[in-house]
Copies of this chain bind each other. A is one copy, B any other.
């Protein structure tokens, strides 16, 4: 038997069997489970790359995840394969592209379930506020580098714009009417433990995304009262790190409904209970889109959101904008997939 081979340093593959705890009661694997696997693959490959040249040791921290579509849900017993590849590097950040496939090892059937793009920033292991320089990658063609640079500039611009949105909070409603925002809004609390964290002692982005998906799923299920699955996640920016020992509050509220989908806005707020500087701050926010599924897995119509205030109306219109935009983009992507 020949010596073991690890994949070349610019590709990694994570595979595992989906278990009952990864899934909802209908047996569909939570989108959050997939997001956590995707982020683990991204963290491994970008940390490996950023330490590949001699110099200060660092750990790659997730800075942003681009919009991600969930093309079809995985099921318990299927094997999920997540493969990640570094596709662009700027001076201080790494772009990782990830493909997720579901394999039914009984029938042999395989299908693509996700693609995702993540941006990482390498932070010094000894001084977590210091960003390390990223070793450049080599591109097969000049065009790939140019396209990467364009994606880098686009996301940088968008990250600045979204910094504005963080003033809002979810205020509890007493005795809400059915199908209103107040009726389905939910929040959960998590005490950050050691296994949630990187070598730095800061929460893995994937752990945060898994919790965000969980609260979004509860909001969607409360609204539709059916089995629900994650259809997509809008771009997520990780503005601030969350330290071990923090308490995080993850809150979600419905912002928009189309005929067959629900958009949920999710906020993550961190509390440093014990520590030098006690403080509460917004760490992350994002929009999740859920669909309702029948017992045989067919999309169901969803009850329309009942709007009660001017603010809710404004958020609904913005959600509609995102919905129409992503619908257009998805159609374009599907076409390009078909043509490959």
Contacts and interface: CB of A to CB of B under 8 A. Distances in A.
B47 A105 contact: yes
Chain A contact-residue range equals 35 or more
A66 to B, nearest CB: 12
Nearest to A245: B25
Contact of A195 (B20, B217, B274): B20
A137 interface: no
A24 interface: yes
Contact of A51 (B81, B106, B199): B106
Contact of A169 (B6, B15, B20, B269): B6
A263 interface: no
A96 to B, nearest CB: 11
Given A15-B44, A189-B12, A273-B47, A5 B83 contact: yes
Contact of A188 (B16, B101, B106, B166): B16
A136 B139 CA distance: 42
Interface in A168-210: 169-172, 174, 186-191, 193-195, 199
B280 A20 contact: no
Interface string A106-133: 1110101001000000000100000000
A21 B24 contact: no
B247 A221 contact: yes
A307 to B, nearest CB: 21
Contacts of A167: 1-2
A215 B17 CA distance: 9
A153 interface: no
Interface string A259-275: 00000000001010111
Nearest to A113: B4
A105 B94 CA distance: 15
11 contacts: A4-B99, A16-B214, A20-B20, A25-B76, A41-B189, A51-B106, A51-B273, A58-B106, A187-B187, A222-B271, A222-B273
Interface of A: 1-7, 9, 12-17, 19-21, 24-25, 40-41, 43-44, 47-48, 51-52, 57-59, 76-77, 79, 81, 83, 85, 87, 97, 99-101, 103, 105-108, 110, 112, 115, 125, 166-167, 169-172, 174, 186-191, 193-195, 199, 214-215, 217-218, 221-222, 225-227, 244-245, 247, 249, 251, 269, 271, 273-275, 278, 280-282, 340
Q: 7 shortest A-B CB distances, which residue pairs?
A: A172-B172, A4-B99, A20-B20, A20-B194, A25-B77, A25-B245, A194-B194
